[in-house]
Chain A
Amino acid sequence: MTDQMLMLLTFLIPFFGAIIISRLDNHPNVRELVTIATATSLFVVVLNLYLNFEGSSIIPWTLAEPAEGLAVTFVINKLGLMFALIASSLWLVTSIYAIGYMRSHEEQNQTRFYVMFAIAIAAVMAIAFSDNLFTLFIFYEVLTLSTYPLVTHKGDEKSKRSGRVYLGILMGTSIGLFLFGILIVWQLSGSLTFTEGGVLQGHISSGWIAGLYLLFLFGIGKAAVMPIHRWLPAAMVAPTPVSALLHAVAVVKAGVFALLKVTLFIFGPELLQGSFWYQWLIFLPLLTILLASLVALTRDNLKERLAYSTISQLSYIVLGIMMVNSIGMFGGALHIAMHAFAKISLFFAAGAILITAHKTQISQLAGLGRQMPFTFGVFTIGTLSIIGLPPLAGFWSKWYLIMGGIEFTGAEFIRWSIVSTLLISSLLNIYYLGIIPLKGYFGTSQDTQPSVGIKEAPLPCLVGLAIPAALCIYLFFHPEPFYSLAQIGSQGGLEPGSSGAQNE
């Protein structure tokens, strides 16, 4: 089987899986078995792609070409492979977790849930392997539409309202700004293919670069740079597995992934480095990091606090991308992976707390850690990884982000702002996330609950909790898979490891 075939399978498997699942409404056990089987085979395929990557042929595969030069094309690429690897492995984990969660929470419409989930994953795979901006845009929209039923899963008035906010913001920004940006790029350069070094070089006057970049920065609403962030907290009405996989990993990472692709292969680092106004845009992610952390402090709803934490962490990645030096971008790309594993552990823990103890507010969690030691243990690991302490995977990405900030070539003032923001935000992280396990283990609740002994979530949930937490630790010692993939292809000469700290 050729690599191209394998690549096609990555979106065909979940797509056909979705069709089969939709026919199994009356057989919940078979349906879940099919989900797991689909997720497993997808993971195996992506793993195969990764293992064969060095020797694989990188020939683009075109599905259709609706207009001259405007094709739906896919190609295997490093960054895409990294994204696909994260999403597919975590889909498997989430599927296991979801079975326990959805059943013990007695959710309605479970078939629709699994179907739309599989379609969303298919869209994510297509985004990962898209070869041009046009293809990416199509599946970006597919992803938005397919996650809407998941957000409004509950079907009550509140979730519908949140669904409208979700759809309104994501669709509005993508059509109003993202598509506008794509149109301008096409008009200027006549090409949308992701090309090393960018396609805009020599086609745009330097005054306009910052403006055009702003269209993309806000247009890719999934990256949740303030003020385009409102949809993410709104999406938290969804069931926890959705929040965990889609709104901490797949959807939001699709946003930053798109931005990374645009920055690298449409604008090109050189072009951006030469623009004066562009560097001031860096304050947008910087402000987002700080503001979102501060907002997170004020939220008492656990999932909402995690959502704001996600917003702030996403801006780390955006920041890394916007530094446009190789180390910063490497850190940003690495953070896509590292943050994914940490954040999904946190969400899983939150879900486990919800279905076991039926608590959603942080203020109610006091003492619960003694009842659910395993869940809170995982939560602690996730928290520490987000903060960026060794020996957890989050350390690496934060390390390179700060290195990138130090090597930033723009104005001095901006450089120090970057570094100090990163440090301050780490402190804020410690406070707004760290307080939760502390409260769980050592707090005493007002309404003194008689100690009921250890009462954890159902087994599938525990399995789901254990895997990402274990990965957080494992990836600290062996980050090589993501190291090699996150190395930005375009910058061949600059090895990120050369700055001293590569763990080999």
Chain B
Amino acid sequence: MTEHISVLLIIIPLLAAPLMVIINSPKFSWLVSLGVTLVCTYLAYILMTDIQRGSEVHYAMGGWAPPWGIAYLIDPLNGLVTFIVSLIALSTIIFARKSVEREIDSHVIPLFYAAFLLCFLGLVGICLTGDIFNMFVFLEISSLSSYALIGMGKNRRALTASFHYLILGTLGATFFLLGIGMLLAATGTLNMQDLSMLLPAVENRPLLHTAFALIVVGLALKAAVFPLHLWLPNAYTYAPSTVSIFLSATSTKVALYALIRCLYDVFSFNYMLDSWLPQALLLVGTVAVIYGSWLAIGQSEVKKMLAYSSVAQIGYIVIGIGLLSDAGLRASLVHIFNHALMKGMLFMVAGILVYRLNSTRYQSISGMGKRMPITFGALIIGALSLIGVPGTVGFISKWNLAQAALAQQQWIVVVALLVGSLMAVIYCWKLIEILYFQPATKSRISKVEQGGDSVARMPVGMIVALWSMALLCIYFGFNTELTLQGAQLAVDALFATREVLP
């Protein structure tokens, strides 16, 4: 059964998406999406626990044996990431219904959900596949659908943001494809396991170096690693709230997964060690932390602030990858999980603000803390987690990362981590001060239809989704069995094939 799960995760959303377009009813589409994500989350959970118990899944698509056919290879690493993606998708859909009704014209709602499921499917596919070209295909599926999703934002600037993302994203995908092409030319195979065995013997080193550089840059663009992050703030800000929740929590994370997979699995460890990449990643990550936090401080709009904070948080993950150690990679993986949780939740808060106040500007939410205690209670948990206060998930990842950096005596990195936390205090506190310690301004609620009760009441789905994420943020801050050990298993699996450890 387990081996079929891997392909079911792809097939179910793939079948559901066109179905929604055909039936063309908003309510039905939402129900189907809910069902699909629910089933996928369940399947992903089973898959992950199965894998963690030691079984490894190789699934040859269509019965064609690898390396000729497309193979799905699932180890603890992609099991974990798949589960994160499904979990976030599920909570996003629970959240989405009312928010989508408000922000999207009703006749495109089925298309919206279809695009959403396609995006989800693409992200899951990237995780599951063991074939590098297949990975590219899924990357494109998810990217194309996310361009469409972002473009559906109400604000007209959503179109520019989407176009901007389209250009940069396509650039990244092209780089990635070129890299893959060169690898194919050098080795004649696209299967990742095969590649990793054949690559060390390749004689044409310049070709290999070029492919390496192209793949790294291409994926870094997708992952919004500083300084290739320029598409991210606007895309997250102007996209419909549901989309910002989902993309912020998953798409960059999956691109980072792909990066980890390519760096550690396809290109061997030794190859990485010889290159300039580890130092570059450390540098880039450190700068990203400071730069992202710095810009987040200056923002006066919740979504944009969160977007820049994401740039900083991606920096942490990149640092972990660049440390090239067991502990560093583990911290990165944990942070992928943890950051998905907290950023998803924080964007949900932004979504609720859009839904109820139709604005996320600081000036229009001042003093709302007491009037919307449920929403902003969750926001405080998220903010504490971004800062890295003990008892939240943010602390777990930062602690692990700091330990990993200390173990290698990377003092600058440790200092950057602490300074980054301090800057997070500033940008979060700025928000909390506005919410709780400023008198409520005359609320400038605009564009909400008269007589609507949206300002007064919050849909149940939103509360459920928001607070389950918030409680998970706390739960995984205390009980790290699932996250830390899952990450540890994943790291072990990655390193198992490479006997060398620095």
Chain A-chain B contacts (Cβ-Cβ < 8 Å), number: 60
Mark B399-419 against chain A: 1 for CB-CB distance below 8 A, else 0: 110110011000000110011
Identity of the chain B residue whose Cβ is nearest the Cβ of A152 in the assembled complex: B437
- Report if B465 contacts A (CB, 8 A): no
Interface segment, B71-79, B177-185, B276-284, B475-483? B475-483
Within 8 Å by CB of B399, from A64, A67, A149, lies A67
Identity of the chain A residue whose Cβ is nearest the Cβ of B405 in the assembled complex: A183
- Report if A184 contacts B (CB, 8 A): yes
- A66 with B395, Cβ < 8 A, contacts A137-B390, A141-B389, A183-B403 known: yes
Task: Compute how far the CA of A176 lies from the CA of B423 in the bound complex, rounded to whole angstroms.
Answer: 11
B422 touches A175 (CB 8 A): yes
- Report if A502 contacts B (CB, 8 A): no
- A66 with B478, Cβ < 8 A, contacts A155-B437, A180-B418 known: yes
B422 touches A64 (CB 8 A): no
Mark A135-155 against chain B: 1 for CB-CB distance below 8 A, else 0: 001100100000001001001
Task: Compute how far the CA of A134 lies from the CA of B437 in the bound complex, rounded to whole angstroms.
Answer: 30
Interface residues in A310-358 by Cβ distance below 8 A to B read: none
Which residues on B sit within 8 Å (CB–CB) of A70?
Answer: 399
Task: Compute how far the CA of A67 lies from the CA of B402 in the bound complex, rounded to whole angstroms.
Answer: 13
A180 touches B480 (CB 8 A): no
- Report if B429 contacts A (CB, 8 A): yes
Task: Compute how far the CA of A171 lies from the CA of B425 in the bound complex, rounded to whole angstroms.
Answer: 8
Distance in Å: Cβ of B312 to nearest Cβ of chain A: 15
- Report if A476 contacts B (CB, 8 A): no
- A175 with B400, Cβ < 8 A, contacts A66-B477, A149-B437 known: no
- Report if A209 contacts B (CB, 8 A): no
A66 touches B396 (CB 8 A): yes
Interface residues in B369-425 by Cβ distance below 8 A to A read: 389-391, 395-396, 399-400, 402-403, 406-407, 414-415, 418-419, 421-422, 425
B414 touches A180 (CB 8 A): yes
- A176 with B396, Cβ < 8 A, contacts A66-B477, A66-B480, A186-B403 known: no
Which residues on A sit within 8 Å (CB–CB) of B400?
Answer: 67
Task: Compute how far the CA of A345 lies from the CA of B186 in the bound complex, rounded to whole angstroms.
Answer: 83
B403 touches A175 (CB 8 A): no
Distance in Å: Cβ of B282 to nearest Cβ of chain A: 18
Interface residues in B277-324 by Cβ distance below 8 A to A read: none
- Report if A439 contacts B (CB, 8 A): no
Distance in Å: Cβ of A234 to nearest Cβ of chain B: 16
Which residues on B sit within 8 Å (CB–CB) of A176?
Answer: 418-419, 422
Q: Is the interface of A mostly helix, strand, loop or mixed?
A: helix
Identity of the chain A residue whose Cβ is nearest the Cβ of B393 in the assembled complex: A66
Task: Compute how far the CA of A163 lies from the CA of B433 in the bound complex, rounded to whole angstroms.
Answer: 10
- Report if B484 contacts A (CB, 8 A): yes
- Report if A428 contacts B (CB, 8 A): no
Identity of the chain A residue whose Cβ is nearest the Cβ of B439 in the assembled complex: A155
- A183 with B479, Cβ < 8 A, contacts A152-B437, A175-B422 known: no
- Report if A160 contacts B (CB, 8 A): yes
Identity of the chain A residue whose Cβ is nearest the Cβ of B387 in the assembled complex: A175
Identity of the chain A residue whose Cβ is nearest the Cβ of B409 in the assembled complex: A187
- A171 with B422, Cβ < 8 A, contacts A66-B478, A67-B399, A70-B399 known: yes
Mark A357-368 against chain B: 1 for CB-CB distance below 8 A, else 0: 000000000000
- Total contacting residues, chain B, CB less than 8 A: 27
Which residues on B sit within 8 Å (CB–CB) of A489?
Answer: none
A167 touches B390 (CB 8 A): no
Which residues on A sit within 8 Å (CB–CB) of B389?
Answer: 138, 141
A67 touches B422 (CB 8 A): no
Interface residues in B424-439 by Cβ distance below 8 A to A read: 425, 429, 433, 436-437
- Report if A390 contacts B (CB, 8 A): no
Most chain B CB atoms below 10 A, which of A72, A152, A180? A180
- Report if A172 contacts B (CB, 8 A): yes
Mark A94-137 against chain B: 1 for CB-CB distance below 8 A, else 0: 00000000000000000000000000000000000000001001
Distance in Å: Cβ of A81 to nearest Cβ of chain B: 24
B390 touches A183 (CB 8 A): no
Distance in Å: Cβ of A69 to nearest Cβ of chain B: 11
Mark B235-258 against chain A: 1 for CB-CB distance below 8 A, else 0: 000000000000000000000000
Identity of the chain B residue whose Cβ is nearest the Cβ of A68 in the assembled complex: B484
Which residues on A sit within 8 Å (CB–CB) of B422?
Answer: 171-172, 175-176
Interface residues in A265-302 by Cβ distance below 8 A to B read: none
Identity of the chain A residue whose Cβ is nearest the Cβ of B477 in the assembled complex: A66
Task: Compute how far the CA of A180 lies from the CA of B395 in the bound complex, rounded to whole angstroms.
Answer: 14
Distance in Å: Cβ of B194 to nearest Cβ of chain A: 37
- Report if A179 contacts B (CB, 8 A): yes
A160 touches B414 (CB 8 A): no
Distance in Å: Cβ of B430 to nearest Cβ of chain A: 10
Interface residues in A37-73 by Cβ distance below 8 A to B read: 64-67, 70, 72
- A67 with B437, Cβ < 8 A, contacts A175-B425, A176-B419 known: no
B406 touches A184 (CB 8 A): yes
Which residues on B sit within 8 Å (CB–CB) of A171?
Answer: 422, 425
A179 touches B484 (CB 8 A): no
Identity of the chain A residue whose Cβ is nearest the Cβ of B425 in the assembled complex: A171
Task: Compute how far the CA of A183 lies from the CA of B411 in the bound complex, rounded to whole angstroms.
Answer: 12
Task: Compute how far the CA of A217 lies from the CA of B479 in the bound complex, rounded to whole angstroms.
Answer: 32
Task: Compute how far the CA of A38 lies from the CA of B376 in the bound complex, rounded to whole angstroms.
Answer: 28
- A64 with B479, Cβ < 8 A, contacts A138-B391, A171-B422, A183-B414 known: yes
Task: Compute how far the CA of A450 lies from the CA of B406 in the bound complex, rounded to whole angstroms.
Answer: 70
Which residues on B sit within 8 Å (CB–CB) of A172?
Answer: 422, 425
Mark B340-378 against chain A: 1 for CB-CB distance below 8 A, else 0: 000000000000000000000000000000000000000
Interface residues in A167-199 by Cβ distance below 8 A to B read: 167, 171-172, 175-176, 179-180, 183-184, 186-187
Task: Compute how far the CA of A138 lies from the CA of B479 in the bound complex, rounded to whole angstroms.
Answer: 17
Which residues on B sit within 8 Å (CB–CB) of A186?
Answer: 403
Which residues on A sit within 8 Å (CB–CB) of B391?
Answer: 66, 72, 138
Task: Compute how far the CA of A116 lies from the CA of B415 in the bound complex, rounded to whole angstroms.
Answer: 32
Which residues on B sit within 8 Å (CB–CB) of A179?
Answer: 418, 421
Identity of the chain B residue whose Cβ is nearest the Cβ of A65 in the assembled complex: B478
Task: Compute how far the CA of A160 lies from the CA of B479 in the bound complex, rounded to whole angstroms.
Answer: 37
- A175 with B418, Cβ < 8 A, contacts A66-B396, A66-B480, A67-B484 known: yes
Distance in Å: Cβ of A173 to nearest Cβ of chain B: 10
Identity of the chain B residue whose Cβ is nearest the Cβ of A172 in the assembled complex: B422
Within 8 Å by CB of A138, from B390, B414, B433, B436, lies B390
Distance in Å: Cβ of A107 to nearest Cβ of chain B: 16
Distance in Å: Cβ of B394 to nearest Cβ of chain A: 11
A187 touches B477 (CB 8 A): no
20 sampled A-B residue pairs with Cβ under 8 A:
A66-B395, A66-B477, A66-B479, A67-B399, A67-B400, A67-B480, A72-B390, A141-B389, A163-B437, A172-B422, A175-B418, A176-B418, A176-B419, A179-B418, A180-B414, A180-B418, A183-B414, A187-B403, A187-B406, A187-B407
If A180-B418, A183-B406 are given as contacts, then 14 extra A-B residue pairs at C-beta distance below 8 Å, sorted by A number, are A64-B479, A66-B391, A138-B391, A141-B390, A149-B437, A152-B437, A155-B437, A160-B437, A167-B429, A176-B418, A179-B418, A179-B421, A183-B403, A186-B403
Going nearest first, the 8 A-B pairs with the smallest beta carbon separation are A64-B478, A187-B406, A138-B390, A175-B421, A171-B425, A183-B402, A175-B422, A66-B478
